[in-house]
Structure 1
Amino acid sequence: MTKGEQTRQRIIAEAAPIFNQRGFAGCSMQDIMDATGMEKGGLYRHFSSKEELAVESLRYALAKAVRSRTEKVEEIQGAVEKLRHLIRHFVESPSVIPGGCPLMNTAIDSDDGNPALRALACDGIQVWKTRLCRILEAGIERGEIGERVLPRQIANTIIATLEGALMISRLEGTQTALEDAHHSLDDLLSGLATS
């Protein structure tokens, strides 16, 4: 990696928490300059616009969150246990990016705003949904999960429940909603198993 690429990656890593905490509109280039110690010209040497930096920062944040949230899942046997692990990890482990879940933050922030960030958030949801669906489909194929289960429906329910509970927990300043979601999803998963 060249020195320029290293600098670009450092800027992205240092900007990601700022965009995650303040959103696109709430984050100024001055905030990025303060965090990185760089001048405006130095930033624009690496990024053509604030939007480009925000998009790259979200890509970085999502990749880091996915790595953290899916850690060791392949070592777990059984589809239901894999899903339990993913849910437990989401509930018990704080975001690796300061400011909370970058996917939820960006989805809310860009809903009526920045189309590039909105598209990236949509892709993030699709990737998560696909990952959950593949686990469910593999469980159905192996006979661990009932064949009448609709993977898309269960994946949407898991994502919506976790993200909604995270929002409530953050607003209330407690883990109660996340813990309640964990218990409800655990009951849902118990109902999927064939044995």
Structure 2
Amino acid sequence: MKKGDRTREHIIMKSAAIFNQRGYAGTSLNDIIADTGIKKGGIYRHFTNKDEIALEAYNYAASIVISKFAEAVDREQSASGRLLAFFRVYEDVVGNPPFVGGCPMQNTAVESDDTHTELRDRARQGLHNHLDMIKSIILNGINSGEFKEDLNADALASFAFSLLEGGILLSKLDGDNKHMQMNTACFAFYLQNCCLKNS
């Protein structure tokens, strides 16, 4: 990798952590300069403005979380285990989230809802990517005979992801992982008693 590419990647990685913790509005160019150790001219050599940095930073943060989900899912054999793997990625959201600051999609969606359409669109795309991953697992579970044939894959995917994101939000706000733990337990119970073919 060329030096210029390494510098650009360094800016993106450092900025992703800042944006995910402080938000777009709460992050200034001076914050990025301070955290990267790169002067203003060096930043502008790679990016035209703060918006461009924010979009690249979101992509980076989201890709880290997606890779953590994929790794957790790949370790499981059953469809139900794969669905619960999403929750395990965030089981210690307070002390050790998969990306510093929590869920990039959630943080970006909440802040940019009415203020930054491009960031909101990235978050919306993230939502659909996550739902597609979950729905694919559910459909595989139905096709393999693990889940009931009449299971509504769209509804279950939305329910699962809502429980996950709600657990992240409440646990972060309360400073206590118990909300994520309770949501994980409730979802496991629901899968066992309402979704499995033999339940």
Give the shorter-chain TM-score range: over 0.9
Alpha carbons 1:12, 1:57 under 8 Å: kept: yes
- The one of 162, 168, 171 aligned to 2:170: 168
Rounded Cα–Cα distance in structure 1 between residues aligned with 2:176 and 2:103: 16
Alpha carbons 1:107, 1:121 under 8 Å: kept: yes
Identical aligned residues as a percent: 35
Displacement of 1:72 after TM fit? 4.2
Deviations 1:151-171 (A, max 9, x none): 111111111111112111111
Question: Hey, what does 1:119 align to over in structure 2?
Answer: 121
Name the SS of the counterpart of 2:130 in structure 1.
helix
Give the TM-score normalised by structure 2.
0.93
Total equivalences in the alignment = 195
Name the SS of the counterpart of 2:107 in structure 1.
helix
Deviations 1:135-194 (A, max 9, x none): 000111111111111111111111111111211111111112111101111112112111
Question: Hey, what does 1:7 align to over in structure 2?
Answer: 7
Question: Hey, what does 2:112 align to over in structure 1?
Answer: 110
Rounded Cα–Cα distance in structure 2 between residues aligned with 1:21 and 1:14: 11
Question: Hey, what does 1:56 align to over in structure 2?
Answer: 56
Question: Hey, what does 1:32 align to over in structure 2?
Answer: 32
Question: Hey, what does 2:159 align to over in structure 1?
Answer: 157
Question: Hey, what does 1:100 align to over in structure 2?
Answer: 102
Rounded Cα–Cα distance in structure 1 between residues aligned with 2:66 and 2:97: 10
Rounded Cα–Cα distance in structure 2 between residues aligned with 1:148 and 1:77: 22
Report the residue type matching 1:59 in the other structure: N
1:171-190 equivalences in 2 (<5 Å): 171-190=173-192
Report the residue type matching 2:109 in the other structure: A
Name the SS of the counterpart of 1:70 in structure 2.
helix
Give the TM-score normalised by structure 1.
0.95
Alpha carbons 1:15, 1:57 under 8 Å: kept: yes
Alpha carbons 1:65, 1:95 under 8 Å: kept: no
Matched, 1:87 2:90: no
Unaligned runs of at least 5 residues, structure 2: none
Alpha carbons 2:72, 2:89 under 8 Å: kept: no
Rounded Cα–Cα distance in structure 2 between residues aligned with 1:45 and 1:135: 43
